[in-house]
A and B are shown apart, each in its own frame.
Chain A
Amino acid sequence: MSLPEPIQRAIEAFAALPGIGPKSASRLTFYLLREQSAALRDTLAEAIRGLNDVAYCQQCFNFTEAGQPLCPVCRDPHRDDGLICVVEEPLDVEAIERTGVYRGQYHVLHGALSPIEGIGPDDLKIRELLARVQAGRVHEVIIATNPSMEGDATAMYLHRLLAPLGIKVTRLARGLPVGGDLEYADQNTLRGALVERKEM
């Protein structure tokens, strides 16, 4: 390849990102090489360096700033620390926060059980969740894992672990998406919507 070494390195770095192939990596690199992209280059470099200052919250395992043992949600005294919403990934916390209706805390598992891929309970933050619940105060755990096969299996596993502790364990309701067509719904979604129907 005849490209200067810094350009090649940038292309390789972009191509290492998920969903970015060699062509997109080259396009991004050459976009950043334009004269008017100088400010963007600096901003990006600074933002990426800043990621080194991110750590895990010691309570919920969402991301927090380095040097802060707890994330903003866990630090917030106005949030109900007896209510824990269990999610698979940090981005799921953002999705639930956007609803504006949840006032409890979170617990991020960092994945879901997948026996076929060899992802077991010890690979997730399940032991930490159990310890958190056993420490007292928690009155309800809302399991908000994805409505997928792996998410459902994780929910059932957590229920099996937590139910004997005598706390309320709930699962996000399953139903039809807003704006969807009934005729396109699959059997599992429709079945869930029927079983969990609400009186009007």
Chain B
Amino acid sequence: MPKPRTWTVDALILRHADFGEADRLLVFYARRQGKGRALAKGVRRIRSRKAGHVEPLTATRLLLAQGRDLNIVTQAQALLTFPYLRDDLTRYAYAMHVAELADKFTYEGEEHPGLYRLLVHTFEQLEKHPDLNLVTRYYELRLLDLTGFRPELQRCVLCGQPLQPEPQFFSPGLGGVVCPRCGQAQWGLRPLSVDALRYLRHFQRSAFAQAERARPSRTVHEEMEHLMLAYLTHVLERRLHSPVFLQHLRRLKNG
């Protein structure tokens, strides 16, 4: 069947870039169609009717038309605008991290059922949840599941034995936990505490309603964050930008 000339998508805008005189190129993740790009014409003009509907971190219903090189946004109606992410710099910074990961872990034309819902849920939680690190780690583990990079947290990735409640190692390159016996002969491993592993496993297998009851200490949060960042960077084979800004904000807060 030939592609229709216009079609509608419900999409979360992940990022945008200025294009030409007054246009913007949108990168979005659509509920059914997955990641896509489209040109929103004239949205940098202050009188644009579409501009506010196609801002990053907005869930929008887009009417798209096939263009010569790029699809064109002909109409846009914001469905969810997540205003508290715009009003709070820290929440905004976490949301940008979430958007950057969704952008970098997906390719155009590739569908990941459930990712749109996960993104909406994560942005909703980032608007109100007191523990932004917990929301973010939970999202990262779910994203890895959905995109096929689930880390192995139940058994040693080398010997296959179930893990004992003792300090372990984590190998971004091997994609999971290495037990202390196998870890002795390896290099490039990261130490993994019993508590950090416990919480990561909990986030990996639980629904958010159960996962959010967890209360990891600040130290464990930091350990999980560093470990996840190492793994995400290894999988992507490139650096992430948003964690740098998050670190900057933390330094600013701590004086």
Given the known interface contacts A149-B57, A177-B47, A186-B53, the answer about A160 and B242 at a Cβ–Cβ threshold of 8 Å is: no
A115, A179, A184: which has the most chain B beta carbons within 10 Å?
A115
Given the known interface contacts A120-B244, A149-B86, the answer about A115 and B96 at a Cβ–Cβ threshold of 8 Å is: yes
Stretch at the interface among A25-33, A102-110, A151-159: A151-159
The residues of A that contact B252 with a CB separation of less than 8 Å are 160-161
Given the known interface contacts A120-B248, A149-B56, A188-B81, the answer about A157 and B241 at a Cβ–Cβ threshold of 8 Å is: no
In the assembled complex, the CB of B54 is this many whole angstroms from the nearest CB of chain A, namely: 9
Report Cα–Cα, A87/B57, bound state, in Å: 23
| B18 closest partner in A (C-beta) | A18
In the assembled complex, the CB of A172 is this many whole angstroms from the nearest CB of chain B, namely: 11
The residues of A that contact B51 with a CB separation of less than 8 Å are 186
A118 near B: Cβ within 8 Å? yes
In the assembled complex, the CB of B23 is this many whole angstroms from the nearest CB of chain A, namely: 9
Given the known interface contacts A116-B100, A157-B89, the answer about A185 and B52 at a Cβ–Cβ threshold of 8 Å is: yes
Are the CB atoms of B96 and A116 closer together than 8 Å? Answer: yes
In the assembled complex, the CB of B244 is this many whole angstroms from the nearest CB of chain A, namely: 6
Beta-carbon contacts of B160-174 to A below 8 Å, as 1s and 0s?
A: 000000000000000
Are the CB atoms of B47 and A180 closer together than 8 Å? Answer: yes
Report Cα–Cα, A186/B50, bound state, in Å: 8
Within 8 A of B (CB), among A100-126: 113, 115-118, 120-121
Report Cα–Cα, A18/B20, bound state, in Å: 7
A36 near B: Cβ within 8 Å? no
The residues of B that contact A160 with a CB separation of less than 8 Å are 89, 252
The residues of B that contact A120 with a CB separation of less than 8 Å are 244-245, 248
Are the CB atoms of B248 and A187 closer together than 8 Å? Answer: no
Report Cα–Cα, A152/B86, bound state, in Å: 7
In the assembled complex, the CB of B253 is this many whole angstroms from the nearest CB of chain A, namely: 8
Secondary structure of the B side of the interface? helix
The residues of B that contact A64 with a CB separation of less than 8 Å are none
Within 8 A of A (CB), among B76-110: 78, 81, 83, 86-89, 92-93, 96-97, 99-100, 103
B46 near A: Cβ within 8 Å? yes
Report Cα–Cα, A152/B21, bound state, in Å: 22
A99 near B: Cβ within 8 Å? no
A2 near B: Cβ within 8 Å? no
| A119 closest partner in B (C-beta) | B241
Are the CB atoms of B86 and A188 closer together than 8 Å? Answer: yes
| A191 closest partner in B (C-beta) | B83
B55 near A: Cβ within 8 Å? yes
Within 8 A of A (CB), among B158-199: none
The residues of A that contact B81 with a CB separation of less than 8 Å are 186-188
B49 near A: Cβ within 8 Å? yes
In the assembled complex, the CB of B249 is this many whole angstroms from the nearest CB of chain A, namely: 8
In the assembled complex, the CB of B91 is this many whole angstroms from the nearest CB of chain A, namely: 10
Other A-B contacts than A116-B56, A148-B55, 6 sampled, CB-CB below 8 A, are A118-B241, A118-B244, A153-B93, A180-B47, A187-B52, A191-B83
Residues of A within 8 A of B (CB): 18-19, 113, 115-118, 120-121, 148-149, 152-153, 156-157, 160-161, 177, 179-181, 184-189, 191
Residues of B within 8 A of A (CB): 14-15, 17, 20-21, 46-47, 49, 51-53, 55-57, 78, 81, 83, 86-89, 92-93, 96-97, 99-100, 103, 241-242, 244-246, 248, 252
